[in-house]
Amino acid sequence: MMAFAAIDYFFKAPGLHRCFPMIQAWLLLILLSWQGQAVADTRYSVDIDAPSAVEDLLEKHMEIMRWLDNPRMNNAEWHRLLQAAPRNIEDLLATEGYFSPEIKQQLETSREGENVRHRATFTIVPGNPVTVDIVDIRFTGDVTQQDAGAEPAPDKLIEGWPLKRDMRFSQDAWASAKRSLLRGLMLQRYPNARITSSKAEIDAASNKARLRVEIDSGAPFRFGGLEVNGLQRYPRSLVENMNPIKPGETYSQARLLFFQSLLQASGYFGNVEVTSHTEDADPEAAPIVVTVTELQSVQVGVGVGASTNTGARTTLSYQDLNLFNRGWRFTNTLKIEQKAQSLNSLVRLPTDKNGYRDSFNADLNRIDIEGQTISTLGSGVKRAWGPRSFEQTIGAAYLLEHLAIDGSDSENNYAATVSYGITLRRTDNELNPTRGYLLNALFTSAPLDVMATGKFLQSYVKTQIYYPLTRRTQLITRFEGGIVSGANNAPATYLFRAGGDQSVRGYAYQSLGVADGDAVIGGRYLATGSIEIIQWLTESWGAAAFVDFGNAANSTRDLKPVYGYGLGARFKSPAGPIGIDIARGQETGEYRLHFNLGVTF
């Protein structure tokens, strides 16, 4: 009060009030600071002495712990929190299944000059946890009258109940078990299922819990018609033709998510949501509701990068997602690399009502590798169908090729080809697989002499297998093979060379093949493989050791494998695995850096 009286006197002094307004303000701040320092400092602290199983829980969630750093803490609030602390501890321990704890509270107050220290120590013996004794799960509704063998089966849901007898009871486990039971009905056939009654009876004397749940399945649902919201540029048929769900099909959340993934992967939409309205809907015809946000139809991109195969790269791209206002996707890409240049144009038509995905393309390419320069002009059409797990393609293409080999005369080749391909994907995760396999086979033929330099058939297969040896140790094996049968004058584009990031690491890109003077050219036979072990050090980071082998040649007699081996680092990114490897080619004795992104299937 004396400080504020002094300030008041200072402000009333006529001369100073007129001459030193800034001094008045600074003096006010200094005096206020001094006045605050004159107040005694009071500190509060809490110690918890409890088993580690519950100590973290109490430190994070006790009300008194959250108040310690609150500037409004005072003696009155401190005593209120101390009085409420035992009940607060009991409630928190009960969530973890401890219903008979022993709680001791010790208070200390000390002074250091003007400073006061308040300290509370809680010693807690949680006692024995409650365990599950009896589980009583009852179903009502149409699920009790469904045909034998129909899914979801009540017996299987009860068998899958996660909180079983003699397991420790906790509120989190209890709530999770009920959600799991309800989800088993809601995800398939019974989207309106609900828990009508649930009770956990705790006998503190025996530390036993008796659990009872009653769940009403409601009526079984089937899908009906399609409602589409958000379309402005694209025709409704674009969404309708990608819909894999037929009217009358049994309700399944997995089918809705699959439909959503197809739309999301189509490239037309920035956001997609697929749901089904089941509230107040006809159980025999629940509408499927699709809500989309369209991407901008015209997109231009510029990119720079580098590849350990073909060197530094600059990319220019133009994309029109609504060519001719028909929902056709037109992509034009110019890529300039140190060893390869290309101009590619691709038009992809929307999926039609039969599930076919048609496209046609025109390409201009030039690649200069190991003394061989291949320049091509090509065009083609392709039809694909089937899900990603089992995708098939047929196509037809025409190729003009100019081939130049260092030290040899150049030559021109041409071929009209037809092709058939199949891709199988059976993995637990499409972007970062840990178990399963991938298989791709492609057969390309030039069947007519009059439309090719010579008839030939190219057969190519590649497979990759993932297998977890332990929870953190993963085995990856790869095999690649190819044969060109028929005329020896097949275009060089259809012959095989090996080496590089996705082939035999430790060797330069396409440096393995048939020697022709100082150049390396393609051969009629290809065989490469890899054995790799990854030890995951964390959930995202791992170390790899690998051995690659293989070669390309013009005959099976000359197809002698060379070996490369090395070490690498792995990272599970949202776009797929990223790998950086150092590999040594046994044949050359050279070390090479290799970089990989994603799963190339």
Summarize pLDDT for 211-227 with one digit per residue, the tens: 999 999 999 999 999 99
Q: Is residue 304 part of a domain?
A: no
Interatomic CA distance for residues 45 and 1, integer angstroms = 31
464 and 504 within one domain: yes
443 and 549 within one domain: yes
Q: Which of 164, 185, 216 is the last residue of a domain?
A: 216
Share of the chain above pLDDT 90, in %: 67
- Smallest CA-to-CA distance from 141 within 186, 78, 207, 94 is with 186
pLDDT band at 70 (very low <50, low <70, confident <90, very high): confident
468 and 414 within one domain: yes
Domains: count for the chain: 5
542 and 482 within one domain: yes
- Smallest CA-to-CA distance from 390 within 436, 433, 422, 431 is with 422
Q: Where are the beta strands (DSSP E) in 428-561?
A: 436-446, 456-468, 473-486, 514-516, 519-521, 525-536, 541-553
In CATH, what number is assigned to the domain containing residue 73? 3.10.20.310
Reported as a single tens digit per residue, the pLDDT across 513-532 is 999 988 999 999 999 999 99
In CATH, what number is assigned to the domain containing residue 429? 2.40.160.50
Q: Is residue 231 part of a domain?
A: yes
Q: pLDDT at position 549, please?
A: 98
In this predicted model, which residue has the larger pLDDT, 359 or 431? Answer: 359
Interatomic CA distance for residues 218 and 515, integer angstroms = 73
Q: Both tokens of residue 204?
A: 């503190």
231 and 203 within one domain: no
189 and 61 within one domain: no
- Smallest CA-to-CA distance from 243 within 274, 205, 204 is with 274
Q: pLDDT at position 148, please?
A: 82
Q: How far is CA 470 from CA 217, 231, 373, 530, 560, in A?
A: 40, 48, 46, 20, 34
Helix (H) or strand (E) holding 563: strand 562-573
pTM equals 0.70
Q: Report angle CA 443, 448, 450 to the nearest 5 degrees.
A: 145
Q: Is residue 348 part of a domain?
A: no
Q: pLDDT at position 34, please?
A: 38
Q: Which of 125, 156, 191 is the last residue of a domain?
A: 125
In this prediction, residues 315-321 reach a mean pLDDT of: 95
pLDDT band at 40 (very low <50, low <70, confident <90, very high): low
Interatomic CA distance for residues 556 and 411, integer angstroms = 26
Q: pLDDT at position 215, please?
A: 95
492 and 575 within one domain: yes
Cis peptide preceding 152, ω within 30 of 0: yes
Q: pLDDT at position 487, please?
A: 66
Q: pLDDT at position 71, please?
A: 86
Q: pLDDT at position 1, please?
A: 38
- Indicate if the pLDDT at residue 439 is higher than 80: yes
Q: Is residue 501 part of a domain?
A: yes
b or e along 370-380 (b: 16 or more beta carbons within 10 Å of the residue's beta carbon)?
bbbbbbbebeb
549 and 411 within one domain: yes
In this prediction, residues 343-371 reach a mean pLDDT of: 95
Separate counts of helices (H) and strands (E) for the chain: 10, 27
Host domain of residue 445: 368-597
Q: Which of 89, 104, 125 is the last residue of a domain?
A: 125
Q: Is residue 338 part of a domain?
A: no
In this prediction, residues 308-334 reach a mean pLDDT of: 93
Q: How far is CA 457 from CA 418, 461, 489, 525, in A?
A: 10, 13, 12, 12
Share of the chain above pLDDT 70, in %: 93
- Indicate if the pLDDT at residue 171 is higher than 50: yes
pLDDT band at 111 (very low <50, low <70, confident <90, very high): confident
Q: Is residue 334 part of a domain?
A: no
Q: Is residue 586 part of a domain?
A: yes
Q: Is residue 320 part of a domain?
A: no
408 and 554 within one domain: yes
- Indicate if the pLDDT at residue 206 is higher than 50: yes
6 and 46 within one domain: no
In this prediction, residues 117-128 reach a mean pLDDT of: 90
- Smallest CA-to-CA distance from 576 within 392, 440, 441, 427 is with 427
232 and 183 within one domain: no
542 and 464 within one domain: yes
